Chains A and B, each alone.
Chain A
């Protein structure tokens, strides 16, 4: 059974720091991995989607890497800003036949302090 874990659960850093969020999954046979951002009281916004054949994806100051064999993904945020404060979630599809539901981590709550 696929399980997704995110560490740490919460992180507080000063503005300008580079930081890494971790996501691990127990079954390496994943289709892809997706990182989301959730602001307080809001819905989720997709940040990056890495296909299983890819090693990393970049969008602006964000870089997500994927190591299927070790069951890990990292989200790297460069030069963090207060506006990056949010909860970051990772998710992998649970593929069984026609089943495309996502298995979610509980998220990392990030606070970037000015």
Chain B
């Protein structure tokens, strides 16, 4: 398996533009997580899905952020409009959930977003 795949790896955009980050989880995994990492705040969970359904989006900073998972093999995180304070590394991770048993999360390489 190629692991969790994220695209793009780097994104530089101007304030006000729409940004879309993409993630392909590991095949067979049914949980998908979006994280944001900054020097000041460390890793923050933005949202996670189980079986394509959003379970907890309490970490999504504001309405400018939205995430979708239309099928088991694809998810997007969209920021519209983007602001300089959104600059961070965004990670996607996936894991398998087998009824009461938590399994480890596998991370993608991340997307480094810079908003000018």
Contact = CB atoms under 8 A, between A and B. Distances in A.
Given A31-B102, A32-B102, A102 B108 contact: no
Given A98-B55, A104-B42, A43 B31 contact: no
Between A45, A93, A101, A104, the greatest number of chain B beta carbons within 10 A of the residue's beta carbon is seen for: A101
Interface string B41-84: 01101001010000110010000000000000000000000000
Contacts of A106: 42
Given A98-B50, A104-B42, A42 B109 contact: yes
Contacts, number: 46
Given A46-B105, A98-B55, A99-B55, A107 B42 contact: yes
B104 A100 contact: no
Contacts of B110: 42-43
A45 B107 contact: yes
Contacts of A45: 107
Nearest first, the 9 closest Cβ-Cβ pairs linking A and B are A43-B107, A44-B107, A104-B43, A106-B42, A46-B104, A43-B109, A101-B45, A49-B104, A43-B110
24 contacts: A31-B102, A32-B102, A34-B105, A42-B109, A42-B110, A43-B4, A43-B91, A43-B108, A43-B109, A43-B110, A44-B93, A98-B50, A98-B55, A99-B56, A100-B31, A100-B55, A100-B97, A101-B33, A101-B59, A102-B45, A104-B42, A104-B43, A105-B42, A106-B42
Interface of B: 4, 31, 33, 42-43, 45, 48, 50, 55-56, 59, 91, 93, 97, 102, 104-110, 112
